[in-house]
């Protein structure tokens, strides 16, 4: 943003101030521009903590709380900017999005542990008998359900959210219902097949016919994950924009897009294995091997993405808990006007 005085229109006569000291809602754009000019050369209370930012660069940050100077200027120019709108229920929203990420990450870790404890002894013979943690499907399902409740924090984070964002978030939350059933069913079936048949072929669970059935269920599960990621992303982007504006936690990674790419890798792996199961020869083995590799890589990247989401959601929660700035917070009309360049 420029500090050139020609950028702003000349200030009009100062309006009468209400008795309670509140800024009149009808203040014109030119008056706001004049106050920005005054703030950039005089007193500029930080939008986050009230620290006087006078003399700092407009591309700098507050030395006390780290909020961007541009966020304070944005509050003056457009106090109703989308990034600065008040969150409806800040504490609930902050708890919700952290719960969403932490529960999903916990479910991924426990599912990985349960399959590892069951499948690894089958692959590496002689290290012990496969043991399946019978409690794991229920725990994973509970964590997925808790994550669904937390996902409500992305549906309508503040007033003025478009209908498309709200509907996309509601569809994502609804997708958790079949997802909860699928994760328990597939986790149990895969583990039992490894223990009973001594096989880790994900496309032959319970035989050729049943294997195809479970493969299609697995593809459906990944499709639901894509629907959830895509449905929650618009609301998440609104909260990320708020975090970036206030700089209470820099969140500029594309974690959700990375998780979507990881899910697509797993889908491709399932499709390759499904094709390989329907043919014979070395080509079948190559397709199945490639499929297993892609599925393992996809699951690993998804788990890493969920770990990154936990970190990002904690940072976003800090921005949510920060109160929305007001004009009174960032303007101080009682100060003597300061001229550009320090003149009288």
pLDDT tens figures, 168-216: 999 999 999 999 999 999 998 888 877 776 666 787 776 767 878 888 9
Distance CA 154, CA 238 (A): 9
Say whether both 184 and 287 belong to one domain: yes
Q: Quick one: tokens of 124?
A: 């590496």
Domain membership flag for residue 66: yes
Domain membership flag for residue 10: yes
Q: Does pLDDT of 61 surpass 80?
A: no
**For position 37, what pLDDT does the model report?**
45
**For position 121, what pLDDT does the model report?**
64
214 and 205 in contact (C-beta within 8 Å)?
yes
- Average pLDDT on 7-35 reads 45
The closest of 113, 112, 35 to 79, measured between CA atoms, is: 35
Say whether both 168 and 250 belong to one domain: yes
Say whether both 314 and 334 belong to one domain: no
Domain membership flag for residue 84: no
Domain membership flag for residue 291: yes
Say whether both 101 and 184 belong to one domain: yes
180 and 225 in contact (C-beta within 8 Å)?
no
Distance CA 60, CA 80 (A): 22
Say whether both 303 and 333 belong to one domain: no
Distance CA 35, CA 343 (A): 17
pLDDT range class, residue 41, cuts 50, 70, 90: low
Mean pLDDT score across all residues of the chain: 75
Say whether both 162 and 240 belong to one domain: yes
Domain count within the chain: 2
287 and 272 in contact (C-beta within 8 Å)?
yes
47 and 67 in contact (C-beta within 8 Å)?
yes
- Average pLDDT on 22-34 reads 44
Residue range of the domain that includes 19? 5-79+325-342
**For position 334, what pLDDT does the model report?**
46
Q: Does pLDDT of 21 surpass 60?
A: no
Say whether both 264 and 148 belong to one domain: yes
% of the chain surpassing 90 pLDDT? 30
Domain membership flag for residue 206: yes
Backbone angles phi, psi at 158, to 5 degrees: -155, 170
Per residue in 225-269, pLDDT (tens digit) is 999 999 999 988 888 776 665 555 556 566 888 999 999 999 999
Residue 296: CA count within 13 A, CB half-sphere: 11
Say whether both 121 and 158 belong to one domain: yes
Q: Does pLDDT of 333 surpass 80?
A: no
Say whether both 16 and 139 belong to one domain: no
Domain membership flag for residue 24: yes
Q: Does pLDDT of 30 surpass 90?
A: no
233 and 256 in contact (C-beta within 8 Å)?
yes
pLDDT range class, residue 127, cuts 50, 70, 90: low
How many other β-carbons are positioned within 10 Å of the β-carbon of residue 244?
18
Say whether both 256 and 315 belong to one domain: yes
Residue 7: CA count within 13 A, CB half-sphere: 14
**For position 243, what pLDDT does the model report?**
67
Alpha-carbon distances of 339 from 50, 51, 121, 224, 333, rounded to whole Å = 22, 21, 76, 59, 14
Distance CA 334, CA 42 (A): 12
Domain membership flag for residue 329: yes
Domain membership flag for residue 85: no
Say whether both 308 and 334 belong to one domain: no
Distance CA 321, CA 91 (A): 7
Say whether both 137 and 222 belong to one domain: yes
């Amino acid at each position: 943003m420029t500090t050139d005085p020609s950028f702003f229109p000349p200030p009009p006569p100062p309006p009468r101030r209400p008795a309670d000291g509140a800024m009149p809602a009808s203040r014109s754009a030119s008056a706001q521009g004049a106050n920005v000019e005054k703030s950039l050369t005089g007193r500029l209370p930080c939008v986050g903590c009230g620290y006087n930012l006078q003399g700092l660069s407009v591309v700098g940050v507050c030395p006390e709380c780290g909020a961007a100077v541009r966020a304070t200027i944005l509050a003056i120019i457009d106090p109703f900017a989308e990034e600065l709108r008040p969150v409806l229920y800040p504490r609930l929203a902050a708890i919700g999005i952290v719960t969403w990420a932490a529960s999903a990450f916990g479910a991924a870790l426990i599912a990985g542990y349960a399959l590892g404890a069951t499948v690894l002894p089958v692959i590496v013979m002689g290290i012990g008998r496969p043991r399946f943690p019978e409690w794991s499907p229920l725990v994973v399902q509970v964590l997925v359900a808790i994550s669904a409740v937390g996902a409500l924090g992305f549906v309508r984070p503040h007033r003025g959210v478009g209908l498309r964002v709200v509907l996309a978030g509601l569809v994502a939350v609804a997708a958790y219902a079949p997802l909860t059933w699928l994760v328990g069913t597939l986790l149990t079936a895969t583990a039992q097949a490894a223990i009973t048949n001594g096989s880790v072929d994900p496309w032959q669970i319970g035989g050729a016919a049943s294997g195809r059935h479970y493969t299609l269920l697995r593809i459906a599960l990944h499709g639901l994950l894509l629907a959830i990621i895509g449905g929650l992303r618009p609301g998440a982007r609104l909260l990320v924009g708020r975090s970036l504006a206030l700089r209470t936690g820099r969140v500029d990674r594309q974690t959700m897009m990375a998780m979507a790419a990881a899910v697509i890798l797993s889908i491709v792996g399932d499709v390759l294995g499904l094709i390989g199961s329907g043919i014979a020869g070395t080509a079948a083995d190559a397709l199945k091997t490639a499929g297993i590799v892609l599925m393992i890589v996809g699951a690993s990247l998804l788990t890493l993405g969920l770990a990154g989401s936990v970190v990002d959601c904690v940072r976003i929660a800090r921005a949510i808990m920060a109160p929305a700035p007001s004009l009174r917070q960032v303007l101080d009309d009682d100060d003597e006007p300061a001229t550009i360049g320090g003149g009288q």
